[in-house]
Amino acid sequence: LVCLLFAVLLAVEIYTIMGGMLSVLVTDFLQFVVMSIGLLAVSFLIMKNIGIEGIVGAVKEHVGPGGLNPIADPKSGIITIIYQLIFQLAVVLTWQTVIARFLAAKDSKTGLRVYKGTSFFFVCRFIIPAFWGMAALWFLHQPVNAHHMQDLRRSEIAAYEKSSGVTVAEAQKAVLIAD
């Protein structure tokens, strides 16, 4: 029995060390590929449907010149740039996965190559959300089609009545009585 337990323990250790780490590596890689494809697809759709002119125009209109050039903003200006530099540096230097890779490197030259190799991805991590945020600014300030909103409200009301069994009129009456 002891030999059987030892053999099972040894098999689990071998699987975890060999197959377990390989499966983690493959899973991480596949997640990276799927998320990258999604990131590129959404960014492409934003550029196709809104365009850079629409995004820049929305930022200029709703944020002002400081939205594209922090120095042009008299309230924050250079302070914003200094803050962003310190913040981004702190994120890059303290991100757990990069620190783990750096500390696992055989020497400082290899560690430096890790930082240089991942720098493109750090830039993307900061630029793409800002780009999507500017696209959201454009999207949220588009005129609303009133007929579409009425149809949407009707479908939401119908879904509510169907799921709850309570009509909207009954719910409003209950609210008025409670007040």
Name the residue type at position 69: N
Could you tell me the two tokens for 161? 């009545």
The pLDDT score that the predictor gives to residue 20 is 66
Give the SS3 label for residue 110: helix
Q: What are phi and psi of 89, to 5 degrees?
A: -65, -45
The pLDDT score that the predictor gives to residue 77 is 80
Nearest residue to 128 (alpha-carbon basis) of 44, 30, 58, 48: 44
The pLDDT score that the predictor gives to residue 2 is 82
Between 15 and 80, whose confidence is greater?
A: 80
Q: What are phi and psi of 144, to 5 degrees?
A: -95, 135
Give the SS3 label for residue 178: helix
Mean pLDDT within 50-54 = 92
Residues 6+ apart with CB under 8 A from 131: 43, 46, 55
The pLDDT score that the predictor gives to residue 17 is 73
pLDDT at residue 59 above 70? yes
pLDDT at residue 50 above 60? yes
Name the residue type at position 78: I
The pLDDT score that the predictor gives to residue 115 is 79
The pTM of this model reads 0.59
pLDDT in tens, 85-112: 898 888 877 878 778 877 888 888 988 8
pLDDT in tens, 112-166: 888 788 788 878 878 888 899 999 989 888 776 656 556 656 666 666 666 666 6
Nearest residue to 84 (alpha-carbon basis) of 55, 123, 134: 123
pLDDT at residue 45 above 90? yes
The pLDDT score that the predictor gives to residue 151 is 63
